[in-house]
Structure 1
Amino acid sequence: MTHLITLLSTNKFISIVIIFIFLDTILGVLRAIKERKFNSAIGINGAIRKVAMLSCIIILAIVDIIFSFNMSFMVPTSVLNATNITQIGICEFFCILFVLYEAISCMKNAMLCGLPMPKKLKSKLEQFLNEMTSEMPTQSDNNKSR
């Protein structure tokens, strides 16, 4: 148990996931305030998703402790040396995926809050969100808010 607590409290990947979860939550709340669309169902779904992510990380950290997975061979040596990372287990792998998911959500919320964003990044993000989700406002939504 002590080993698990040490791993969870000192793992850089887990810390980054927690930072992105916090940032996404703040940006999501700001977006809801801006759009005047506070919806407890959406908030609860988001909270459940974030708790599920953190639960997966804890379970995968236990799996890594038991089986000692190391997937660092998949990462270039220069990256490992620059970051002082010696082991990448299943927990860290999923942390990377969760950070990517949260980063896209942060960018989406930042864009919909009206924060300035490079034009190329904004158009790629809009294209991605239009293809993959139904979260981008439509023209009729924009007209309603005026």
Structure 2
Amino acid sequence: MKSELMEFLLEMAENQFLRAVALAVVFDTIMGVLRAVKERKFNSCIGINGAIRKVGMILSIIFLRLADAVIGINLIGFLPKEMWAAIGMDAPLHLGMAEFFAILFVAYEIVSILKNMALAGLPVKGLWQKIKAVLSKYTTELPDDD
């Protein structure tokens, strides 16, 4: 049992999808801190709600990886092969729930990073406005301009 747990933890430490989520979370937090310094007030990225969301993303990936080990669902059909080529990866033969949600979490964090960069005064406001307009057409799940 101990070696299985250790093997799982080592696998998670080397999982490129978990690493991508962790990197996006850290970068979003940094941008949120810079924005908070500029505005001289806390915001959702560095407050308790943002922390809960970010920890929830990491724990979800770990739990979903456990569920993948038990259930073994393959969601590769939901992502086109062209997407993998665009990000410089070979399409995997298996895409579990953990990897699928990791991709969604990274996309969400990228939106949040762009929002924080724009609100911090970095020169991405035009890009942020375009992405926000496109996303608002298809979803109501945008980060608010707090």
**Shorter-chain-normalised TM-score: which range?**
0.7 to 0.9
What residue is the counterpart of 1:4 in the other structure? 8
Q: Which moved more, 1:4-13 or 1:107-116?
A: 4-13
Instruction: Please give the alpha-carbon distance, in whole angstroms, between the structure 2 residues aligned to 1:67 and 1:75.
Output: 20
Offset of residue 83 of structure 1:
1.2
Question: Which of these residues, 61, 81, 89, is aligned with residue 83 of structure 1?
Answer: 89
Question: Which of these residues, 95, 102, 118, is aligned with residue 95 of structure 1?
Answer: 102
- Asked if structure 2 preserves the Cα contact closer than 8 Å seen for 1:16 and 1:99, the reply is yes
Offset of residue 66 of structure 1:
1.1
Moved beyond 3 Å, runs of 4+ = 73-82, 125-129, 131-135
Letter of the 1:116 partner, please give it: P
TM-score, structure 1 as length reference: 0.77
Offset of residue 87 of structure 1:
2.0
Please identify which structure carries the higher helix content.
1
Bigger Cα Rg: 1
Which structure 2 segments of 5+ residues have no match? none
- Asked if structure 2 preserves the Cα contact closer than 8 Å seen for 1:34 and 1:113, the reply is yes
Which structure 1 segments of 5+ residues have no match? 138-146
- Which structure exhibits the higher relative contact order, with contacts defined as CA atoms closer than 8 Å and separated by 6 or more residues? 1
Q: Which moved more, 1:13-22 or 1:30-39?
A: 30-39
Instruction: Please give the alpha-carbon distance, in whole angstroms, between the structure 1 residues aligned to 2:13 and 2:93.
Output: 17
Offset of residue 48 of structure 1:
1.0
Query: What's the C-alpha RMSD, in Å, of the aligned pairs?
Result: 2.8
**Total equivalences in the alignment:** 135
TM-score, structure 2 as length reference: 0.77
User: Residues 27-106 of structure 1: matches in 2 within 5 Å?
Assistant: 27-38=31-42, 43-77=47-81, 83-84=89-90, 85-106=92-113
Q: Does 1:19 align with 2:23?
A: yes
What residue is the counterpart of 1:111 in the other structure? 118
- Asked if structure 2 preserves the Cα contact closer than 8 Å seen for 1:7 and 1:61, the reply is no
